[in-house]
Amino acid sequence: MIQDGQQEQPQQAAEDLSVQISLDGPFHQVKDLLLREFERAYLARALRRSSMNVSLASRASGLSRKHLRALMSKHGLRLRRNLDRAAL
């Protein structure tokens, strides 16, 4: 409920992006840095929430698997393969 001209604040998620960057510098440099940090944090969270399942993470994020994998590659995010699995 909003009273006295105050805006309702959205509930904060447990995994909010918390980035501290300097805003000094050219606009496009700062924007690119912030975008990179956001993409990396968003992808890492999506993968954690999906138990490292790329298909589930892509569905939940609204990105195609191809795009999700391209972003993972861009940011150096790789899935660890479970080498202890029994060979089928």
Q: pLDDT tens digits for 67-80?
A: 999 999 999 988 87
- pLDDT digit string (tens) for 4-50? 454 444 444 556 667 788 899 999 999 999 999 999 999 999 999 99
Contact indicator for 56, 50 with CB cutoff of 8 Å: yes
- pTM, two decimals, is 0.69
Q: At which residue do the structure tokens 């080498």 appear?
A: 83
